[in-house]
Amino acid sequence: MDYADARKRMVDGQLRPNKVTDPRLLDAMRELPRERFLPRTVMARAYTDEDVPLPGGRAMIEPMVLARLVQLAAVRPGDRALVVGAGTGYGAAVLARMGARVTALEADAPLLEIARAVLPDYLPAGAVRLEATDPAAGFAAGAPYDVVLIEGEVPEIPTNLSDQLAEGGRLVGVLGFGRRQGKAVLGQRIGGGFSTVVAFDCATAPLPAFARRPGFVF
């Protein structure tokens, strides 16, 4: 398979027609080999316009949805970015290629192993800081962040994540309840408060770390 040609067709056929216009984002996704961030068994699906399944019930977000989320975050060079549920590191790599200083959180050991193996091949040392920790807790030690990217569907935005945003910071993610009917949202911290707006409809796999615990039934 000609992966370089597939990347070009992904950008021209999936991203540009869906209002992805940021040239730094388009360049990052044209240059980064998405297939390298996947297990060999699913590499051939790297550039399809759908989520790609990963071990542990996880998924790599489809290119168009990821690109629109990143564009929504309005990433600027030098921004401090937190990637929550980073999986194999592809989204973190995209942000780093756009000039952000990235901290990426992932608790799944096999996914982290892929990220640790691949990221040094395409980014300078230190461009992405990988932390093996519960993504739902955020990473207060690196706060405040200008950008938070949640890479997967969550039922709500935890306050501990919104509290780690800097003034003027942006948080992007997908809200939903596992029914493939999610909504991408943009959250912003302004004047010390945090609010969200719906940006577009989409669907992606839920992040297990954010699953609501069942309540008691009497």
| Residue 204 one-letter amino acid | T
Per-residue exposure over 29-54, b if at least 16 CB sit within 10 Å of its own CB, e if not: beebbbbbbbeeeebeebbeeebbbb
Q: For residue 102, what are the contacts with CB-CB under 8 A and spacing of at least 6? A: 81, 82, 83, 92, 95, 96, 127, 128, 129
- Asked if 137 and 166 touch (Cβ cutoff 8 Å), the reply is no
* Mean per-residue pLDDT, 147-156: 96
Tens digits of residue pLDDT in 90-144: 999 999 999 999 999 999 999 999 999 999 999 999 999 999 999 999 999 999 9
pLDDT given at position 144 = 98
* Mean per-residue pLDDT, 50-65: 95
- Asked if 61 and 91 touch (Cβ cutoff 8 Å), the reply is yes
* Encoded tokens for 55: 């071990």
pLDDT given at position 217 = 44
Average pLDDT, the chain: 94
Burial class (CB in 10 A: 0-12, 13-18, 19+), 109: exposed
Query: Closest Cα to residue 165, out of 189, 137, 195?
Result: 189
* Mean per-residue pLDDT, 136-165: 96
Whole-angstrom distance, CA of residue 115 vs CA of residue 38: 9
Q: How confident is the model at residue 218 (pLDDT cuts 50, 70, 90)?
A: very low
pLDDT given at position 216 = 43
Farthest-apart Cα atoms in the chain, separation: 58
Bridge partners of residue 182, in order along the sequence: 202
The better pLDDT of the pair 214, 39 is held by 39
Please state, for a pLDDT cut of 70, what percent of the chain lies above it.
96
Tens digits of residue pLDDT in 127-138: 999 999 999 999
Tens digits of residue pLDDT in 7-53: 999 999 999 999 999 999 999 999 999 999 999 999 999 999 999 99
Domain 3-210 listed as CATH 3.40.50.150: yes
pLDDT given at position 124 = 95
Maximum mean pLDDT: which of 104-108, 204-208, 211-215: 104-108
Least confident of 64-68, 177-181, 201-205: 177-181
* Mean per-residue pLDDT, 65-77: 98
* Mean per-residue pLDDT, 54-66: 95
pLDDT given at position 107 = 96
